[in-house]
Amino acid sequence: MAQLSCQNLTLGYEGKEILSNLSFEVNSGDYLCIVGENGSGKSTLMKTVLGLKKPMSGKVVTGDGLLQTEIGYLPQQTVVQKDFPASVREIVISGNQGRCGLRPFYTKQEKQRAAENIKRMGIDNLQNRCYRELSGGQQQRVLLARALCATQKMLLLDEPVAGLDPKVTADMYSLIEGLNKKDKITIIMISHDIEAALKYATHILHIGNEIFFGTRQQYLDSRFGAERGLL
């Protein structure tokens, strides 16, 4: 069974449809890129997958041992975070919060887990630094480490390279590729960057006036791929 399957989703807000009849499946170990123009409903789709928003019709089903709350999430930066006084360690460990229920403090294992993920993202030298003083790329790594505390199965990344310079962008992509290949974490990435999407992804979902879902090769063979060839 697929880890995540969206069945006949209709998305929109305040009664206005922006996407209809959207179906796709994500299997364990896949690397799916969601591409599409601004306003095509990428972030609405993301919120729906995360369970932050109800679809107007259709449903999102998780399976293969994945709970909806086990989807780790790398959001775009919010205004609040720009001047939030918090150390890197505090932010990473807060990724464990979902597991806590009513328990007020973090357990030893959860602290351990935070430390491991900090190391994994190569930011152990920044542990006690203040989040708002870090560079964009470093901040993304912190949020990625937090997302990894919340899940070991599936990550949803919302434009993870927005606003990063080319060098940092390349590092970020290879970091994500490592998580996908080595740690077998399913990746769903929302992206503007079709080049990179075609380089790393196994599957492509194109949303907009026309919806396409298929493997990378199918995408290249399709009308979209042909159009790219002309450009």
| Site for other proteins, rule CB under 8 A | 47, 50-52, 67, 69-73, 75, 78, 80-81, 83-87, 90-91, 94-95, 97-100, 104-106, 128-130, 133, 146-147, 150-151
CA distances from 204 to 77, 96, 207 (A): 24, 30, 10
> b vs e for 97-129, b when ≥16 Cβ sit within 10 Å of the residue's Cβ?
eebeeeeeebeeebeebbbebbebbebeebbee
Instruction: Write down the least CB distance from residue 119 to other proteins, Å.
Output: 19
SS3 string of 130-162? EHHHCCHHHHHHHHHHHHHHHCCCEEEEECCCC
CB of 199 to other proteins, least distance (A): 27
Kindly tell me which of 133 and 227 has the beta carbon lying closer to other proteins.
Answer: 133
Among 127, 124, 121, 134, which Cα is nearest to 83's?
Answer: 134
DSSP string, 85-143: --BHHHHHHGGGHHHHTT--S--HHHHHHHHHHHHHTT-GGGTTSBGGGS-HHHHHHHH
Q: Which CB sits closer to other proteins, 50 or 198?
A: 50
Q: How far is the CB of 174 from other proteins (least distance, A)?
A: 24
Beta carbon nearer to other proteins, 52 or 226: 52
Q: Considering beta carbons, is residue 47 or 228 the nearer one to other proteins? A: 47
Q: How far is the CB of 225 from other proteins (least distance, A)?
A: 33
Query: How wide is the angle at C-alpha 93 spanned by C-alphas 67 and 43, nearest 5°?
Result: 50
- Rank residues 105 and 166 by Cβ distance to other proteins and give the closer one: 105
Q: How far is the CB of 55 from other proteins (least distance, A)?
A: 15
The nearest distance, CB 86 to other proteins, in angstroms, is: 5
Nearer to other proteins, 156 or 204 (CB): 156
